[in-house]
Chain A
Amino acid sequence: MATLKSLKGRIASVKSTQKITKAMKMVAAAKLRRAQQAAEAGRPYAERMGQVMESLAGKVAISDQSPKLLAGTGRDQTHLLVVCTSDRGLAGAFNSNIVRAARRQAEELIAQGKTVYFYLVGRKGRAVIQRLYPKQIVHQFDTGAIKQVSFADAQEIAADLIDRYITDGIDIVHLLYARFQSALVQEPTSRQIIPVPRAAEGIAASGGADAGVEYEPDEEEILAALLPRNIAVQIFRALLENAASEQGSRMTAMDNATRNAGDMINRLSIQYNRTRQAAITTELVEIISGAEAL
Protein backbone atom coordinates (compact mmCIF):
# COMPACT_ATOMS: atom_id res chain seq x y z
CA MET A 1 0.00 0.00 0.00
CA ALA A 2 1.33 3.37 -1.04
CA THR A 3 1.86 5.87 1.72
CA LEU A 4 0.03 9.16 1.78
CA LYS A 5 3.22 11.04 1.17
CA SER A 6 4.23 9.05 -1.91
CA LEU A 7 0.71 9.40 -3.34
CA LYS A 8 0.85 13.14 -2.85
CA GLY A 9 4.19 13.21 -4.64
CA ARG A 10 2.84 11.26 -7.57
CA ILE A 11 -0.19 13.48 -7.91
CA ALA A 12 2.05 16.54 -7.97
CA SER A 13 4.31 15.02 -10.60
CA VAL A 14 1.44 13.94 -12.86
CA LYS A 15 -0.01 17.43 -12.50
CA SER A 16 3.17 19.07 -13.68
CA THR A 17 3.39 16.62 -16.58
CA GLN A 18 -0.14 17.55 -17.50
CA LYS A 19 0.79 21.20 -17.49
CA ILE A 20 3.60 20.51 -19.93
CA THR A 21 1.49 18.42 -22.30
CA LYS A 22 -1.24 21.03 -22.17
CA ALA A 23 1.21 23.78 -23.05
CA MET A 24 2.66 21.68 -25.88
CA LYS A 25 -0.81 21.07 -27.22
CA MET A 26 -1.60 24.76 -27.30
CA VAL A 27 1.69 25.60 -28.97
CA ALA A 28 1.09 22.86 -31.55
CA ALA A 29 -2.43 24.13 -32.16
CA ALA A 30 -1.17 27.64 -32.78
CA LYS A 31 1.60 26.43 -35.08
CA LEU A 32 -0.76 24.05 -36.80
CA ARG A 33 -2.98 26.84 -37.98
CA ARG A 34 -0.12 28.57 -39.74
CA ALA A 35 1.42 25.38 -41.09
CA GLN A 36 -1.93 24.20 -42.36
CA GLN A 37 -2.52 27.46 -44.18
CA ALA A 38 0.90 27.26 -45.78
CA ALA A 39 0.39 23.64 -46.80
CA GLU A 40 -3.02 24.26 -48.27
CA ALA A 41 -1.92 27.41 -50.06
CA GLY A 42 1.01 25.53 -51.58
CA ARG A 43 -1.10 22.71 -52.95
CA PRO A 44 -2.52 24.35 -56.06
CA TYR A 45 0.92 25.30 -57.34
CA ALA A 46 2.39 21.86 -56.77
CA GLU A 47 -0.64 20.21 -58.32
CA ARG A 48 -0.64 22.44 -61.41
CA MET A 49 3.09 21.94 -61.72
CA GLY A 50 2.63 18.19 -61.51
CA GLN A 51 -0.08 18.34 -64.16
CA VAL A 52 2.01 20.46 -66.47
CA MET A 53 4.95 18.10 -66.02
CA GLU A 54 2.89 15.02 -66.58
CA SER A 55 1.30 16.33 -69.72
CA LEU A 56 4.68 17.48 -70.97
CA ALA A 57 6.23 14.14 -70.18
CA GLY A 58 3.43 12.51 -72.11
CA LYS A 59 3.95 14.70 -75.18
CA VAL A 60 7.68 15.00 -75.48
CA ALA A 61 9.24 12.32 -77.57
CA ILE A 62 11.85 10.44 -75.57
CA SER A 63 15.16 10.12 -77.31
CA ASP A 64 18.73 9.58 -76.22
CA GLN A 65 19.17 13.30 -75.93
CA SER A 66 16.21 13.75 -73.60
CA PRO A 67 17.13 15.07 -70.19
CA LYS A 68 17.68 12.25 -67.72
CA LEU A 69 15.33 13.82 -65.21
CA LEU A 70 12.52 13.34 -67.67
CA ALA A 71 13.38 10.11 -69.40
CA GLY A 72 15.10 8.29 -66.56
CA THR A 73 18.14 6.14 -67.01
CA GLY A 74 16.22 3.38 -68.72
CA ARG A 75 16.74 1.06 -65.78
CA ASP A 76 14.91 0.57 -62.50
CA GLN A 77 17.58 -1.19 -60.52
CA THR A 78 18.64 1.39 -57.95
CA HIS A 79 16.01 3.22 -55.95
CA LEU A 80 16.54 6.17 -53.70
CA LEU A 81 13.94 6.82 -51.01
CA VAL A 82 13.83 10.40 -49.81
CA VAL A 83 12.31 10.10 -46.36
CA CYS A 84 11.08 13.35 -44.82
CA THR A 85 10.60 13.30 -41.06
CA SER A 86 10.59 15.94 -38.38
CA ASP A 87 13.41 16.98 -36.09
CA ARG A 88 11.47 16.57 -32.91
CA GLY A 89 9.64 13.74 -31.30
CA LEU A 90 6.60 13.80 -29.05
CA ALA A 91 4.36 13.98 -32.09
CA GLY A 92 2.50 10.73 -31.64
CA ALA A 93 3.04 8.18 -34.36
CA PHE A 94 3.95 10.83 -36.94
CA ASN A 95 7.57 9.87 -37.51
CA SER A 96 7.13 6.16 -37.01
CA ASN A 97 4.32 6.10 -39.56
CA ILE A 98 6.54 7.65 -42.20
CA VAL A 99 9.43 5.39 -41.35
CA ARG A 100 7.15 2.38 -41.43
CA ALA A 101 5.91 3.34 -44.88
CA ALA A 102 9.51 3.79 -46.03
CA ARG A 103 10.43 0.44 -44.62
CA ARG A 104 7.54 -1.31 -46.27
CA GLN A 105 8.44 0.17 -49.62
CA ALA A 106 12.10 -0.70 -49.14
CA GLU A 107 11.24 -4.28 -48.26
CA GLU A 108 9.08 -4.59 -51.35
CA LEU A 109 11.81 -3.25 -53.58
CA ILE A 110 14.46 -5.42 -51.98
CA ALA A 111 12.20 -8.43 -52.41
CA GLN A 112 12.13 -7.62 -56.12
CA GLY A 113 15.90 -7.68 -56.13
CA LYS A 114 16.38 -3.92 -56.34
CA THR A 115 18.98 -1.88 -54.56
CA VAL A 116 17.60 0.67 -52.14
CA TYR A 117 19.27 3.74 -50.71
CA PHE A 118 17.95 6.30 -48.30
CA TYR A 119 18.20 10.05 -48.27
CA LEU A 120 16.94 11.45 -45.00
CA VAL A 121 15.46 14.87 -44.45
CA GLY A 122 15.04 15.60 -40.76
CA ARG A 123 16.53 13.88 -37.76
CA LYS A 124 13.90 11.52 -36.49
CA GLY A 125 13.95 8.78 -39.07
CA ARG A 126 17.63 8.17 -38.71
CA ALA A 127 17.75 5.85 -35.72
CA VAL A 128 15.41 3.23 -37.10
CA ILE A 129 16.65 3.29 -40.66
CA GLN A 130 20.25 3.18 -39.60
CA ARG A 131 19.58 0.13 -37.48
CA LEU A 132 17.77 -1.69 -40.30
CA TYR A 133 19.85 -0.59 -43.27
CA PRO A 134 23.14 0.63 -41.80
CA LYS A 135 25.01 0.98 -45.09
CA GLN A 136 22.27 2.37 -47.27
CA ILE A 137 21.93 5.93 -46.02
CA VAL A 138 23.56 8.17 -48.58
CA HIS A 139 22.95 11.47 -46.88
CA GLN A 140 21.03 13.19 -44.17
CA PHE A 141 19.85 16.68 -44.87
CA ASP A 142 19.87 18.67 -41.66
CA THR A 143 16.73 20.71 -41.16
CA GLY A 144 17.56 21.61 -37.56
CA ALA A 145 18.26 25.26 -38.28
CA ILE A 146 15.10 25.77 -40.35
CA LYS A 147 12.19 27.30 -38.48
CA GLN A 148 9.81 28.06 -41.31
CA VAL A 149 10.25 25.97 -44.43
CA SER A 150 11.10 28.17 -47.38
CA PHE A 151 11.29 27.45 -51.05
CA ALA A 152 15.05 28.05 -50.94
CA ASP A 153 15.49 25.06 -48.60
CA ALA A 154 13.55 22.88 -51.00
CA GLN A 155 15.70 24.10 -53.87
CA GLU A 156 18.82 23.22 -51.93
CA ILE A 157 17.58 19.68 -51.34
CA ALA A 158 16.50 19.39 -54.95
CA ALA A 159 19.88 20.53 -56.25
CA ASP A 160 21.62 18.03 -54.01
CA LEU A 161 19.29 15.24 -55.13
CA ILE A 162 19.78 16.03 -58.81
CA ASP A 163 23.54 16.02 -58.31
CA ARG A 164 23.37 12.62 -56.74
CA TYR A 165 20.98 11.36 -59.33
CA ILE A 166 23.35 12.24 -62.11
CA THR A 167 26.61 11.16 -60.48
CA ASP A 168 25.64 8.24 -58.24
CA GLY A 169 23.91 5.99 -60.74
CA ILE A 170 20.48 6.12 -59.14
CA ASP A 171 17.61 5.15 -61.40
CA ILE A 172 14.44 6.10 -59.59
CA VAL A 173 13.79 8.53 -56.76
CA HIS A 174 10.77 8.33 -54.49
CA LEU A 175 9.68 10.99 -52.06
CA LEU A 176 8.03 9.96 -48.78
CA TYR A 177 6.16 12.33 -46.53
CA ALA A 178 2.96 12.57 -44.53
CA ARG A 179 0.14 14.17 -46.45
CA PHE A 180 -1.90 16.41 -44.20
CA GLN A 181 -5.59 15.68 -44.19
CA SER A 182 -6.72 16.93 -40.82
CA ALA A 183 -5.32 17.27 -37.32
CA LEU A 184 -6.40 13.68 -36.75
CA VAL A 185 -5.43 12.09 -40.05
CA GLN A 186 -2.04 12.28 -41.71
CA GLU A 187 -1.43 9.86 -44.46
CA PRO A 188 2.09 8.64 -45.24
CA THR A 189 2.50 9.13 -48.97
CA SER A 190 5.09 7.99 -51.43
CA ARG A 191 5.46 9.45 -54.86
CA GLN A 192 7.98 9.06 -57.60
CA ILE A 193 9.71 12.33 -58.45
CA ILE A 194 12.53 11.26 -60.75
CA PRO A 195 11.98 10.44 -63.55
CA VAL A 196 8.72 12.32 -63.95
CA PRO A 197 5.82 9.87 -63.87
CA ARG A 198 4.12 9.90 -67.25
CA ALA A 199 0.43 10.55 -67.50
CA ALA A 200 -0.82 7.31 -68.97
CA GLU A 201 -4.45 8.36 -69.09
CA GLY A 202 -3.44 11.94 -69.81
CA ILE A 203 -2.21 10.96 -73.23
CA ALA A 204 -5.38 9.08 -73.96
CA ALA A 205 -7.55 11.96 -72.75
CA SER A 206 -5.81 14.73 -74.63
CA GLY A 207 -5.43 12.58 -77.71
CA GLY A 208 -3.12 13.46 -80.55
CA ALA A 209 -4.60 16.91 -80.92
CA ASP A 210 -2.38 18.41 -78.21
CA ALA A 211 0.75 16.99 -79.71
CA GLY A 212 1.59 20.20 -81.50
CA VAL A 213 2.51 22.24 -78.46
CA GLU A 214 4.54 25.28 -79.29
CA TYR A 215 7.46 26.07 -77.06
CA GLU A 216 9.12 29.36 -76.47
CA PRO A 217 12.16 29.73 -76.31
CA ASP A 218 12.33 26.02 -77.24
CA GLU A 219 11.61 22.61 -75.86
CA GLU A 220 15.03 21.81 -74.45
CA GLU A 221 15.43 25.12 -72.71
CA ILE A 222 12.01 24.93 -71.14
CA LEU A 223 12.56 21.39 -69.99
CA ALA A 224 15.99 22.24 -68.62
CA ALA A 225 14.43 24.97 -66.50
CA LEU A 226 11.22 23.19 -65.66
CA LEU A 227 12.52 19.79 -64.58
CA PRO A 228 14.71 20.87 -61.64
CA ARG A 229 12.06 23.34 -60.65
CA ASN A 230 9.39 20.68 -60.58
CA ILE A 231 11.49 18.59 -58.21
CA ALA A 232 12.06 21.55 -55.92
CA VAL A 233 8.34 22.26 -55.95
CA GLN A 234 7.43 18.69 -55.11
CA ILE A 235 9.93 18.68 -52.25
CA PHE A 236 8.71 22.03 -51.02
CA ARG A 237 5.20 20.71 -51.00
CA ALA A 238 6.29 17.61 -49.10
CA LEU A 239 8.03 19.74 -46.50
CA LEU A 240 4.99 21.96 -46.04
CA GLU A 241 2.64 19.01 -45.75
CA ASN A 242 5.03 17.41 -43.33
CA ALA A 243 5.23 20.51 -41.17
CA ALA A 244 1.46 20.69 -40.94
CA SER A 245 1.16 16.96 -40.30
CA GLU A 246 3.75 17.13 -37.56
CA GLN A 247 1.92 19.86 -35.70
CA GLY A 248 -1.43 18.16 -36.19
CA SER A 249 -0.08 14.87 -34.97
CA ARG A 250 1.57 16.53 -31.99
CA MET A 251 -1.57 18.36 -31.08
CA THR A 252 -3.61 15.16 -31.07
CA ALA A 253 -0.94 13.26 -29.17
CA MET A 254 -0.64 15.97 -26.53
CA ASP A 255 -4.39 16.24 -26.22
CA ASN A 256 -4.50 12.52 -25.49
CA ALA A 257 -1.65 12.83 -23.04
CA THR A 258 -3.39 15.67 -21.22
CA ARG A 259 -6.55 13.63 -20.97
CA ASN A 260 -4.69 10.58 -19.73
CA ALA A 261 -2.92 12.69 -17.13
CA GLY A 262 -6.31 14.01 -15.99
CA ASP A 263 -7.64 10.46 -15.62
CA MET A 264 -4.58 9.47 -13.69
CA ILE A 265 -4.89 12.45 -11.35
CA ASN A 266 -8.50 11.48 -10.66
CA ARG A 267 -7.55 7.92 -9.90
CA LEU A 268 -4.69 8.91 -7.67
CA SER A 269 -6.82 11.48 -5.81
CA ILE A 270 -9.43 8.84 -5.03
CA GLN A 271 -6.76 6.48 -3.82
CA TYR A 272 -5.23 9.27 -1.76
CA ASN A 273 -8.54 10.16 -0.12
CA ARG A 274 -9.37 6.53 0.62
CA THR A 275 -5.96 5.95 2.15
CA ARG A 276 -6.31 9.10 4.23
CA GLN A 277 -9.73 8.05 5.45
CA ALA A 278 -8.51 4.55 6.26
CA ALA A 279 -5.69 6.05 8.30
CA ILE A 280 -8.11 8.26 10.26
CA THR A 281 -10.44 5.33 10.91
CA THR A 282 -7.59 3.18 12.15
CA GLU A 283 -6.47 5.96 14.46
CA LEU A 284 -9.99 6.44 15.81
CA VAL A 285 -10.44 2.75 16.39
CA GLU A 286 -7.18 2.73 18.27
CA ILE A 287 -8.19 5.67 20.47
CA ILE A 288 -11.67 4.27 21.18
CA SER A 289 -10.47 0.80 21.98
CA GLY A 290 -7.80 2.35 24.17
CA ALA A 291 -10.42 4.37 26.00
CA GLU A 292 -12.65 1.32 26.44
CA ALA A 293 -9.85 -0.71 27.88
CA LEU A 294 -9.41 1.80 30.72
Chain B
Amino acid sequence: MADLHFELVTPERLVRSEDVYMVVVPGTEGDFGVLAGHAPYMSTLRNGDIAIYRSGMSDTPERIPVEGGFAEVNAQGLTVLAERADTPA
Protein backbone atom coordinates (compact mmCIF):
# COMPACT_ATOMS: atom_id res chain seq x y z
CA MET B 1 0.00 0.00 0.00
CA ALA B 2 1.27 3.42 -0.90
CA ASP B 3 2.49 5.53 1.97
CA LEU B 4 0.73 8.60 3.22
CA HIS B 5 2.59 11.85 2.83
CA PHE B 6 2.34 13.62 6.17
CA GLU B 7 3.36 17.16 7.05
CA LEU B 8 3.15 18.82 10.43
CA VAL B 9 3.89 22.53 10.46
CA THR B 10 3.70 25.22 13.13
CA PRO B 11 4.18 28.96 12.60
CA GLU B 12 7.72 28.55 13.91
CA ARG B 13 8.89 25.65 11.79
CA LEU B 14 8.24 22.59 9.69
CA VAL B 15 8.14 19.85 12.30
CA ARG B 16 7.65 16.74 10.17
CA SER B 17 7.54 16.02 6.48
CA GLU B 18 7.69 12.35 5.72
CA ASP B 19 5.91 9.33 4.26
CA VAL B 20 4.23 7.20 6.89
CA TYR B 21 1.68 4.42 7.15
CA MET B 22 -1.01 6.09 9.21
CA VAL B 23 -1.55 9.17 11.33
CA VAL B 24 -4.19 9.54 14.03
CA VAL B 25 -5.22 13.16 14.42
CA PRO B 26 -7.14 14.62 17.39
CA GLY B 27 -10.06 16.36 15.65
CA THR B 28 -12.51 18.58 17.53
CA GLU B 29 -15.20 15.99 17.08
CA GLY B 30 -13.09 12.98 17.80
CA ASP B 31 -9.88 11.33 16.71
CA PHE B 32 -9.58 10.20 13.14
CA GLY B 33 -7.02 8.05 11.45
CA VAL B 34 -5.71 8.89 8.00
CA LEU B 35 -4.31 6.29 5.65
CA ALA B 36 -3.09 6.83 2.11
CA GLY B 37 -5.92 7.51 -0.33
CA HIS B 38 -8.17 9.11 2.26
CA ALA B 39 -11.06 11.18 0.90
CA PRO B 40 -10.63 14.99 0.97
CA TYR B 41 -11.30 16.10 4.49
CA MET B 42 -10.85 19.16 6.63
CA SER B 43 -11.11 19.43 10.38
CA THR B 44 -10.15 21.66 13.25
CA LEU B 45 -7.97 20.20 16.00
CA ARG B 46 -8.37 20.01 19.72
CA ASN B 47 -5.39 19.87 22.03
CA GLY B 48 -4.07 16.35 22.11
CA ASP B 49 -1.53 13.94 20.71
CA ILE B 50 -0.92 13.15 17.09
CA ALA B 51 0.04 9.50 16.75
CA ILE B 52 2.27 8.56 13.85
CA TYR B 53 2.44 4.92 12.78
CA ARG B 54 5.59 4.65 10.70
CA SER B 55 5.28 1.32 8.96
CA GLY B 56 2.16 -0.50 10.15
CA MET B 57 -0.47 -0.97 12.80
CA SER B 58 1.87 -3.00 14.98
CA ASP B 59 4.24 -0.06 15.45
CA THR B 60 4.51 1.80 18.69
CA PRO B 61 3.25 5.16 17.47
CA GLU B 62 5.29 8.31 17.88
CA ARG B 63 3.21 10.81 19.82
CA ILE B 64 3.50 14.55 19.29
CA PRO B 65 1.36 16.82 21.48
CA VAL B 66 -0.26 19.60 19.45
CA GLU B 67 -2.43 22.56 20.32
CA GLY B 68 -5.11 24.01 18.08
CA GLY B 69 -5.04 24.40 14.34
CA PHE B 70 -6.29 22.49 11.34
CA ALA B 71 -5.80 19.29 9.45
CA GLU B 72 -6.39 19.00 5.74
CA VAL B 73 -6.44 15.83 3.71
CA ASN B 74 -6.20 16.17 -0.03
CA ALA B 75 -4.88 14.13 -2.92
CA GLN B 76 -1.31 15.06 -1.96
CA GLY B 77 -1.61 13.76 1.59
CA LEU B 78 -2.25 15.02 5.08
CA THR B 79 -1.21 18.49 6.21
CA VAL B 80 -1.56 19.43 9.86
CA LEU B 81 -1.30 23.13 10.61
CA ALA B 82 -0.93 23.27 14.38
CA GLU B 83 -0.51 26.35 16.50
CA ARG B 84 1.97 24.57 18.69
CA ALA B 85 3.70 21.24 18.60
CA ASP B 86 5.96 20.08 21.36
CA THR B 87 8.77 17.94 20.11
CA PRO B 88 12.05 17.31 21.83
CA ALA B 89 14.04 17.96 18.68
Binding site for B on A (CB under 8 A): 38, 41-42, 44-46, 48-49, 52, 55-56, 151, 206, 209-210, 212-217, 221-222, 225-226, 233, 236
Contact = CB atoms under 8 A, between A and B. Distances in A.
User: Which are the 3 A-B pairs with shortest beta-carbon distances?
Assistant: A41-B13, A44-B14, A216-B43
Interface residues of B, number: 23
B40 A210 contact: yes
B81 A49 contact: yes
Contact of A217 (B9, B14, B29, B75): B29
Contacts of B13: 41-42, 44-45
Contacts of B10: 45
Given A55-B74, A216-B28, A45 B81 contact: yes
Contact of A48 (B12, B41, B75, B79): B79
Given A206-B75, A217-B28, A222-B70, A45 B43 contact: no
Where chain A touches its partner, the secondary structure class is: helix
A213 B38 CA distance: 11
B9 A213 contact: no
Nearest to A211: B40
B7 A213 contact: no
Interface string B51-78: 0000000000000000000101011000
Contact of A56 (B27, B41, B42, B44): B42
B9 A214 contact: no
Nearest to A37: B13
Interface of B: 7, 9-14, 17, 27-29, 39-44, 70, 72, 74-75, 79, 81
Contacts of A216: 27-29, 41-44
A213 B71 CA distance: 12
Given A213-B41, A214-B39, A222-B44, A52 B72 contact: yes
Given A210-B74, A214-B40, A215-B43, A45 B9 contact: yes
A217 B40 contact: no
Contacts of A48: 7, 9, 79, 81
A226 B29 contact: no
Nearest to B29: A216
B42 A233 contact: no
Contacts of B43: 215-217, 222
A44 B70 CA distance: 15
A45 B7 CA distance: 10
Nearest to B12: A41
B41 A225 contact: no
A221 B41 CA distance: 14
B26 to A, nearest CB: 12
A213 B42 contact: yes
A49 B81 CA distance: 7
Contacts of A213: 40-42
A76 B66 CA distance: 39
Nearest to A38: B12
B15 to A, nearest CB: 9
A212 B42 CA distance: 11
A45 B70 contact: no
Nearest to B39: A214
Contacts of B40: 210, 212-214
